[in-house]
Structure 1
Amino acid sequence: MERKQCVWVVDDEPNGFEVIELLLRREGYHLNYFSSGKEALNRLDTSRPDVILLDVMMPEMDGIETCSRIKANPNWKPIPIIIVTALDSKEDLARALESGADDFLTKPVNGLELRARVRSMLRIKQQYDALQATINLRHDLSKLVVEDLRQPMSTMLLGSHLLLQSNLEPKDRERAEMVHAAGLEVDAIINGLLRLAKMESGKLLLNRVEVDLNELAEVVLANFQAIAQTTAPQAAMLPEGTAQRAIANFKQIQLKSELPKQRRWISIDANLFHRLLDNLLTNAIESSPSGSNITFHINYPNATESPRQAVISVIDEGIGISKHLQQSILDQYEPGSLISGASQIGLRLTFCKMVAEAHGGTITIEDNQPQGSIVTVQI
């Protein structure tokens, strides 16, 4: 049996619900009545309507505030809200829409208009649900594909490792090393994607250990500096698309470090945080022109001044990330062209955001003056 579409009516006046119930009687909806915004908010923890008809003039918590609170919650935001109001000024209607309302009706409610607007909002909700189901299916399929890749990749790594243990001619050994290096890179990508999936589902458990953040940063920076000194022929031997190859291509970039003399041990997942630092530096290098500078900076705030244990900034001199992408690129796998011949992959920054938030921290992007970007992680 097809599920009845659920419509909530939130109005401190029972007569208002009775009028709407009468006008929608033949539509076959399942109607629920709530006498206050607070009552509706409490019910949203356990139930989800398909559309909400929300009165504006209510005591204690009016419809505008109720609407704002619903739309501020990511789990409730997709629910269409129709504001029902006796107010008819343009300013009041603007306030209703700015609070996140999807549509509005003026009192006295016209039956024909009410039914048309409810149907419109229900169509939008159905389209959203169908899109969300498609996205979830895509995520599930992607995860299955990635998991299926693990076994053949493990076999390839084992085979190339055994091959390297045998007596090979120098040229053959060089080729086997390239295959093994490429396999390690793909294996790291597979593990990273699986960790992303776990983070998105909230199932990732952090393996926290006490880490000297200065020491971890020094290890990461040393790896990047060593590759940055490779010659062009040596760079060509690295697997295509790796962070090392990217650095070698931009080896004229000066990588500067500003680490505090006073060290601090903090509780983090060392492996995840190592990858976070790798990703930040790789992005900065890919978005920077040859001959520019990149600065890696760590600051330990005073415990009495800030609850944060560490602030990490990577500052580059590229052409930067446009204002409209500075937030969206953290939330989506969105590419944005930063310099000619290079592209910024949002997947890396999405990974960084998830790692930072898993540690109770934040990540932000802002402009560097006169040009470039500053990516800051606070934990």
Structure 2
Amino acid sequence: MKTPTILIVDDEPDNFEVISLLLSGQDYQLHYIHNAQAVLTALEAINPDLILLDVMMPGISGIELCKQIRAIPQWQSVPITMVTALAGKEDLARCLNAGADDFVSKPVNGLELRARVNSMLRIKHQHDSLETLLKFREDMVHMLIHDLRNRLTDVLLGVEFLEMNVDLATQQKLAKIYESAQGLQLLIDDLLKIALLESGNIRLNCTDVDIQELIHSVMDNFKAIATQKNQSLVSQFSASPIGNVLIDETLMYRVLDNLLSNAVKFSPVNSKIIINVKKHQSGTLKIQVIDSGPGVPNELRQQIFEKYEIGTLMPNVSQIGLGLALCKMIVKAHQGEISIRSNQPRGAIFEITLAQHRPFE
């Protein structure tokens, strides 16, 4: 295990000497910075396991510096212990509210300092161990998903080959196998996309996309099944020209496909499903998928976008609880929002809000 690294930030060099003396005999690597403004640029090189931060410093105070450190995702897991002469409960509360994990009162007591440092380093070690375990699990899931997708591709190709040399009855049975395998392939693809989005390893390939063409393309996929249920699919666009939208076409296609699939799946026969697109003066674009199905209860409208959460259970309908989680992740990656509300008197309205010309990095 590597030697723990402790960064001490204090404008008084004498205070560093005191702390280093009190921690002598411990297997720590100590670093000292006397200027709060230099801390943020030095964090990458030092990579501390714990920060001992003085509260009262000229210029940027310890509390303000703590807030700035906590605003950087990379350093949010590093414990920060405030070293302060302040003893009032309100002052200590300000330190904790700024993102500090602990505090040591001045004058510093050696026994207390060593105990609190050991406590914070123990928490950091537990966090790092958990991160390592989660990374290992994530890598294993990625490997399994890739292997499953490769094996499933072999199954699909095999079914296609068999269909060429069998009678009609067998072809129909093989067609059902092929359809089920395609559904499994979509599920595996969703799992892979979710894993990539969660890990931050997926990059958006954003281009100017004609949203009307994209929506009509998605709707074409559901005309046959909607006809079987005597459902009508209707698209509505605002009168003012919408223009192109800067999005990842493949991923946004998956979002709209999922929302429309749910609408067709859950809506009753002889019903209407509407995709409504509105351009607002603010430059935002709202896409609504409106159905007349069972809707989603109020208490489930937030958690339904979480993995494996299901709204209204429906008999004989496949409900895994991954589709809407993927939709939320994709829309969020586009810096947009997705929400749901009631469609009176019955049904649900899923609404996506996108900035029409937002720059992506």
TM-score w.r.t. the length of structure 1 is: 0.78
Residues 354/340 of structure 1: CA separation in 2 closer, same or farther (3 Å cut): closer
Cross-structure match for 1:239: none
Post-superposition offset of 1:115: 0.9
Find out whether 1:187 has 2:154 as its counterpart: no
- Aligned equivalents of 1:289, 1:78: Cα separation in 2: 49
1:214 and 2:188 aligned: no
Contact 2:190 2:322 in 1 (8 A): no
Partner residue in 1 for 2:359: none
Distance 1:322 1:77, change over 3 A: farther
- How far apart are the structure 1 equivalents of 2:53 and 2:263? 47
User: Which deviates more, 86-95 or 126-135?
Assistant: 86-95
Corresponding residue for 1:273?
A: 252
Deviation for aligned residue 1:107? 1.2
Is the Cα contact below 8 Å between 2:310 and 2:321 reproduced in 1? Answer: no
Cα offset, 1:132, TM superposition: 0.6
Counterpart AA for 1:271: T
Partner of 2:36: 37
Distance 1:95 1:283 in 2: 47
Residues 318 and 373 of structure 1 are in contact (CA less than 8 Å); yes or no, is this contact kept in structure 2?
Answer: no
Q: 1:209 to 1:62 in 2, by over 3 A?
A: closer
Aligned equivalents of 2:270, 2:89: Cα separation in 1: 55
Aligned partner of 1:95: which letter? Answer: R
Separation in 1 of the partners of 2:272 and 2:124?
A: 49
1:363 equivalent in alignment to 2:337: yes
Q: Partner residue of 1:312? A: 287
State, as a whole percentage, how many aligned pairs show the same letter.
39
The question of whether the paired residues in 2 share the 8 Å contact of 1:287 and 1:318 is answered with: no
8 Å contact from structure 2 (residues 214, 253) kept in 1: yes
Corresponding residue SS for 1:336: coil
Matched residues in 1 for 2:269 and 2:119: separation? 54
User: Which position in structure 2 is the counterpart of 1:378?
Assistant: 354
Please report how far the alpha carbon of residue 339 of structure 1 lies from its aligned counterpart in structure 2 after TM superposition: 2.8
The residue number in structure 2 matching 1:150 is 149
Cα distance change on mapping 1:105 and 1:368 into 2, 3 Å = farther
Q: Distance in 2 between matches of 1:101 and 1:343?
A: 46
SS of the counterpart of 1:31?
strand
Could you tell me which amino acid in structure 2 is paired with residue 159 of structure 1? Answer: G
The residue that corresponds to 2:127 in the other structure is 128
Which segments of 5 or more consecutive residues in structure 1 lack a partner in the other structure? 232-250
Kept in 2: contact 1:11–1:17 (CA 8 A): yes
Question: Deviation digits for residues 201-227 of structure 1, max 9, x if unmatched?
Answer: 555454444421012113323434643
Alignment of 1:146-295 (within 5 A): 146-170=145-169, 172-200=170-198, 202-224=200-222, 226-231=224-229, 257-261=235-239, 262-282=241-261
1:96 partner amino acid: C
**Cα-to-partner distance string for 1:10-66 (whole Å, 9 max, x where unaligned):** 111112211111111121211111113321111123442111111111122111111
Letter aligned with residue 275 of structure 1: R
Residues 287-345 of structure 1 deviation map (CA, whole Å, 9 limit, x = unaligned): 9899998764323234xx44x5x33344674214558x56xx76xx6433533459986
Distance 2:313 2:71 in 1: 38
Residue 298 of structure 1 aligns with which residue? 277
Take 2:223 and 2:130, find their aligned partners in 1: how far apart are those partners?
Answer: 45
Change (3 A) 1:96 1:208: closer
Q: Equivalences for 1:73-92 in 2 at 5 Å?
A: 73-92=72-91
Give secondary structure in 2 for the equivalent of 1:27. coil
Name stretches of at least 5 consecutive residues in structure 2 with no aligned partner: 356-361
The answer for the alignment partner of 1:69 in structure 2 is: 68
Bigger shift: residues 344-353 or 180-189: 344-353
Given that residues 12 and 35 in structure 1 are in contact (C-alpha distance below 8 angstroms), is that contact kept between their aligned partners in structure 2?
Answer: yes
TM-score by length of 2: 0.82
In 2, distance between residues paired with 1:178 and 1:12? 73
Q: Per the alignment, in what secondary structure is the counterpart of residue 376 of structure 1?
A: strand
**Cα gap change, 1:218 to 1:321, in 2 (>3 Å):** farther
For the structure 1 residues 373 and 79, does the alpha-carbon distance in structure 2 shift closer, same or farther, using more than 3 Å as the test? Answer: farther
Measured after TM superposition, the shift of residue 351 of structure 1 is 3.0
SS in 2 for 1:112: helix
- Is 1:9 aligned to 2:8, yes or no? yes
Q: Is the 8 A contact 1:337 1:343 kept in 2?
A: no
The one-letter code of the counterpart of 1:339 is T
Q: Indicate which of 338, 345, 348 corresponds to 2:311.
A: 338
AA aligned to 2:336 is T
